[in-house]
Structure 1
Amino acid sequence: MLMERLILVAMWLFGFVGLFLFIPRKDRRKGVLAFLMFQAVIWLCDMPGFKFDLLRAPVRELPKATDLPLTIDYFFYPALFAIYYVHRRVNGNLWTRSSYFLVWISASTLFDVVLERYTDLLEYEFLKWYGMWMYIAFLFYLSQVCCNWFFKDKALFQAERWGTNEN
């Protein structure tokens, strides 16, 4: 139980440090939106999974309030996605973009599998590692599509458009 609590604290520390060190000041707006978008997507997708016992989190922060692991789902993975989204290659060729995406997904899945196998923070009931890989890939892809859609129209964010009074 102590090891799990230390891992949760380490996830908070690495998440905060990662957000501040790996997201440049000029891209903080993109990072915050990516963080919040991933939280929304993972909340919609994890709620049924934990409700119907596809996944379980025996050790969690608020055991009487929710079945969801708050640190993992609502802070650490969104922080990873925010770092990924800010640093992804927009103008690269398909091979570069795909390999970057696959490396992030594989690293996140490896971390998730290690948590499941060696701690009580997560337990997969019916999923195998490749199912979790597909699930994390789906979460990253859907969050990326939503963030790309949000940042598509650059004219919405120009100060002149909102600040002028055209009479």
Structure 2
Amino acid sequence: MREHLILIAMWLFGFIGLILFIPRKDRRKGLLAFLMFQAIVWLCDMPSFRYGLLSAPVRLMPNATELPLTINYFFYPVLFSIFYVNKRVKDSLWSKIIYFFVWVSVITLYDIVIERYTDLLEYGSLTWWGMWVYIVFLFYVSQVCCNWFFKDKAVFQAELWRTK
């Protein structure tokens, strides 16, 4: 029962976070970041759960998949899209690095609490620092892909106008 309440809270806080922390003018960028993170976490989670690095005893649709849909395919992508939309492009390199590692560390701490006190997630042969590295990898690759997509707006705008 406790686990299902936590899952419901993740859905509620996720939707509220999307509405409150992603400005209307950046919704397109937030949606792309959300989908990009989902795609990358899907590619990485399949082997992680298949080979016992992670497991999710309590999850939505347990007969359909071994993967935790709420945590990895909704809540963490929402957090990444909030992170990506609200990062400051013109800040110094050190402030960008600190911003990145604070986000990753807070999410890892949340993940550790979920793993330790609920049945939503269990670390198999993965440790807390392994999970931190895993989340760093997911955030970094997702950020690189999103940055690549939004790299040169003039090129994408020119292509859009040329097709009309």
| TM beyond 0.5 | yes
Q: What residue is the counterpart of 2:89 in the other structure?
A: 90
Ranges in structure 1 where 5+ consecutive residues have no aligned partner: none
Instruction: State the aligned residue count.
Output: 164
Q: What residue is the counterpart of 2:160 in the other structure?
A: 162
Cα displacement string for residues 69-109 of structure 1 (whole angstroms, at most 9, x for unaligned residues) = 00001000000000000011211111100000010000000
Ranges in structure 2 where 5+ consecutive residues have no aligned partner: none
Residues 100-115 of structure 1 aligned to structure 2 (within 5 Å): 100-115=99-114
- The offset of 1:157, in angstroms, is 4.0
Cα displacement string for residues 38-69 of structure 1 (whole angstroms, at most 9, x for unaligned residues) = 00000000000001111000001011110000
Provide the aligned C-alpha RMSD in A: 1.5
Q: 1:165 to 1:77 in 2, by over 3 A?
A: closer
Counterpart-to-counterpart distance in 1, 2:69 and 2:160 = 37
Alignment partner of 1:17 is 2:24:
no
Q: Which residue type is aligned with residue 127 of structure 1?
A: L
Q: What residue is the counterpart of 1:54 in the other structure?
A: 53
Counterpart-to-counterpart distance in 1, 2:23 and 2:100 = 20
Counterpart-to-counterpart distance in 2, 1:59 and 1:164 = 50
Q: 1:161 to 1:67 in 2, by over 3 A?
A: closer
Counterpart-to-counterpart distance in 2, 1:46 and 1:165 = 37
Which protein shows a greater Rg? Answer: 1
Q: Which residue type is aligned with residue 116 of structure 1?
A: E
Q: 1:127 to 1:165 in 2, by over 3 A?
A: closer
Cα displacement string for residues 102-154 of structure 1 (whole angstroms, at most 9, x for unaligned residues) = 10000000000000000000000111111100000000000000000000121
What is the TM-score with the length of structure 1 in the denominator?
Answer: 0.94
SS of the residue aligned with 2:61?
coil
SS of the residue aligned with 2:47?
helix
